Structure 1
């Protein structure tokens, strides 16, 4: 079996989900999500046994384009994140009534298909196609099933679509130029190019615009908070848990190794932008009254630190960034699901309208607290491993960056614990709050189990990604 089977499972799953109708759509989607996760685990085992699970065949003869899928440890780690979170996200929606369910769940699986393809693609044009395909389902998910005023939602989603699409066009121009130089867009051929300094700078900027918008990095973040707020919770989970990781992964896989000289020349600027996102996101989160918006700006702060780690171009920085990408994916999905659980009971996301939930729902309060503690990088949690490694890498570049980057822990602890206090403690809301259901509990327990297991034992992931990161660093350091 090779990695193309994962894409086939997700694509067939999307078609099957749409075909079976609204009544069975959620269950069929969950089934295919779990099958894709099982296939990912099987492929991981084959990879660990030394088998070649990549796939390549000529797709287009003129220009020469390959349907090439690269299955190294880094790509597999991101595919595992995608296939693990997809069934969790689907299952988390079971407590919400969805109109036109067959289309809704089919779009989720199709988006997972496109995101997995982005992580696996080893040809520039194929990668670009998957990158753009992932934008279509989230556009319709947010537009059709989103929250709030329809006109405001439309403005936010259209801005996101146009903004992201426009940024990606710069990357497409970069690939067109690279094809003229290499005669191929296979990633190995692009790595072999000996580009001039001026060429690298222009290509670096082109790729950066696409990735900075997707991640997002300050000052290209203006679409994020509104879309996170307006999208349905499932859409917000897909965006924050998986889709933004496409940009971070692409920095490591595509941008840094192809234009290493330009990347090294702009290290300080990239680190400043990343750290600025940490500080800005944390300060704005402190002022939020809407729970989803607070979590959106919290996410902005965390991904700013991840981006900074990647741009250190050190083994610790890139390794820490990948670890934190995976940890952040699980934490942020858990936090947005908690916001959804509260909304199901109170029908509000305004923090001031909440309070006293702990006295009515002690099980929910305990699980909520564990995810909050993971979010603020409590030792023994997965986030601590990633954040500590990234901060250590920043200290190797400049201790000031490490100190400023550490504000994400201090400020994050303050606004997250303050939010928890406002939502869960204090005076009891006049509306009753039922404790979590079995389905809701399963989702939260699975997420918490992952966060604490890899917080105590991150070795399997570190060993999985280490060879890929070493190869990328060798590629980056080929130009001194």
Structure 2
């Protein structure tokens, strides 16, 4: 199977959605989103049969740039996350009305196309192009269809765009330098380059700046909360559920194997930055009064732990990080959708203005509670598998890393359950809160089903990603 088929479906879908007009745009976008998800599953089947899933074509002769795509277990896991969440996110928006909806839904598919391309690209410059392309749709989604004051929204979105673009330029410089050494941008050729310790440090830092902003890690996180709050919920889902995983994936795929000496030398510093994000994000989340901002800082804490696991340079750390990426993608999309459902009824995201919802909507309350406990890594949920594996890997490096990283569970349980209590319990609100619609219920049930299924049986994903991670570790541990 040609791996480029997934990208073709998403790109053609974006154009077809725009041409379909406002009335049909959402349905056409959902159709192409489901088609991309189906193609990803077929691709997974071919991969499991042992086929070499790659596509390479000479694009530009000088410099030597190839349109090179390759699907191994790691990239397939991230493509599946992208293509499965995309139709879920599109379907979740059916309860909202958007002006110029054909452009809105076309941008969602185009963003999915760019993110999938980032995960599949095996040529450095092609990867960089997909990386930058993903910025364009989310910029317009947040700017045009976002929430709140237009001027404040513009400031937040422009800051995010410039900040991310500026960080990525350092990564581009690193690729150009590596090209001069390898004579090619192909990943397999870049892996063969022998760099001195000093060269690796600068390459490592150049990639780190781009990834730390995208993930985000402190102190490069300042764009996150405002953009998450100002973007429409669909945009927030795309950012938190998929886009930030581009940075985490890239740490494992590009940064660590290309500069392993620097990764080993400064391991403790970068693990420390990740854990600092865990503590900082959790403490700031405790003080939030806006539901979307609380979830934004909660996400900051979780991705800090994922990054810390990645920088352990152990199989358990990398495997736990990837498992947690996927789990976090589903649970954070579910939680932001919960915030959107409440906003549809009450037109507020202020937690203090909610309350008493449980007595009116037992079904919604039950699904909300399941997502809350999944977020704090209750055993039997998907998040538990990833977080436990990451914490175990941290304990192998230093027990204090595991203890400090574990605060995400303790603090997370406190602020998430406190938020749930304030929003759902207490005296009955005078405003009527209707129970979930069929569309809302289907969306939440799908997400919950994934979290419980892989929480009880993560073996398919573990078997999928482990061989690729082992190959990356061989590259990291090579003799320079």
Partner Cα separation in structure 2 for residue 248 and residue 70 of structure 1: 18
Q: Residue in 1 aligned with 2:448?
A: 448
SS of 1:79's partner is helix
Shift of 1:375: 0.4
Q: Residue in 1 aligned with 2:290?
A: 290
Partner Cα separation in structure 1 for residue 2 and residue 72 of structure 2: 12
Partner Cα separation in structure 2 for residue 273 and residue 429 of structure 1: 42
Q: Work out whether residues 211 and 250 of structure 1, in 8 Å CA contact, stay in contact via their aligned partners in 2.
A: yes
Q: Residue in 1 aligned with 2:402?
A: 402
The one-character-per-residue Cα deviations of 1:113-161 (angstroms, maximum 9, x if unpaired) are 0000000000000000000000000000000000000000000000000
Shift of 1:479: 3.3
Q: Residue in 2 aligned with 1:33?
A: 33
Q: Work out whether residues 282 and 412 of structure 1, in 8 Å CA contact, stay in contact via their aligned partners in 2.
A: yes
SS of 2:433's partner is coil
Partner Cα separation in structure 2 for residue 402 and residue 34 of structure 1: 39
Within 5 A, what are the aligned runs for 1:306-345? 306-345=306-345
Q: Work out whether residues 260 and 479 of structure 1, in 8 Å CA contact, stay in contact via their aligned partners in 2.
A: no
Partner Cα separation in structure 2 for residue 350 and residue 477 of structure 1: 49
SS of 1:206's partner is helix
Shift of 1:370: 0.5
Partner Cα separation in structure 1 for residue 191 and residue 312 of structure 2: 19
Within 5 A, what are the aligned runs for 1:146-165? 146-165=146-165
Shift of 1:3: 1.2
SS of 2:432's partner is coil
Shift of 1:328: 0.1
Q: Residue in 2 aligned with 1:475?
A: 475
Q: Residue in 2 aligned with 1:12?
A: 12
SS of 1:26's partner is helix
Partner Cα separation in structure 2 for residue 257 and residue 379 of structure 1: 33
Shift of 1:187: 0.3
Q: Residue in 1 aligned with 2:245?
A: 245
Q: Residue in 1 aligned with 2:182?
A: 182
Within 5 A, what are the aligned runs for 1:386-465? 386-465=386-465
Partner Cα separation in structure 1 for residue 313 and residue 113 of structure 2: 29
Partner Cα separation in structure 1 for residue 85 and residue 479 of structure 2: 38
Partner Cα separation in structure 1 for residue 376 and residue 3 of structure 2: 35
Partner Cα separation in structure 2 for residue 2 and residue 298 of structure 1: 38
SS of 2:221's partner is coil
Q: Residue in 2 aligned with 1:349?
A: 349
SS of 1:245's partner is helix
Partner Cα separation in structure 2 for residue 25 and residue 55 of structure 1: 31
Partner Cα separation in structure 2 for residue 259 and residue 3 of structure 1: 28
The one-character-per-residue Cα deviations of 1:399-429 (angstroms, maximum 9, x if unpaired) are 0000000000000000000000000000122
Q: Residue in 1 aligned with 2:373?
A: 373
Partner Cα separation in structure 2 for residue 175 and residue 479 of structure 1: 22
Within 5 A, what are the aligned runs for 1:144-293? 144-293=144-293
User: How does the TM-score come out when normalised to structure 1?
Assistant: 1.00
Shift of 1:430: 1.6
Counterpart check, 1:2 vs 2:32: no
Partner Cα separation in structure 1 for residue 32 and residue 178 of structure 2: 37
Q: Work out whether residues 242 and 329 of structure 1, in 8 Å CA contact, stay in contact via their aligned partners in 2.
A: yes
SS of 2:56's partner is strand
Deviating above 3 A after TM superposition, structure 1's stretches of 4 or more consecutive aligned residues are none
The one-character-per-residue Cα deviations of 1:339-380 (angstroms, maximum 9, x if unpaired) are 000000000000000000000000000000011110000000
Partner Cα separation in structure 2 for residue 64 and residue 429 of structure 1: 64
Partner Cα separation in structure 1 for residue 371 and residue 165 of structure 2: 34
Q: Residue in 2 aligned with 1:96?
A: 96
The one-character-per-residue Cα deviations of 1:254-311 (angstroms, maximum 9, x if unpaired) are 0000000011111011011000000000000000000000000000000000000000
Q: Residue in 1 aligned with 2:59?
A: 59
**Ranges in structure 2 where 5+ consecutive residues have no aligned partner:** none
**Ranges in structure 1 where 5+ consecutive residues have no aligned partner:** none
SS of 1:360's partner is coil
Partner Cα separation in structure 2 for residue 418 and residue 2 of structure 1: 49
Q: Work out whether residues 261 and 479 of structure 1, in 8 Å CA contact, stay in contact via their aligned partners in 2.
A: no
Shift of 1:52: 1.6
Shift of 1:102: 0.2
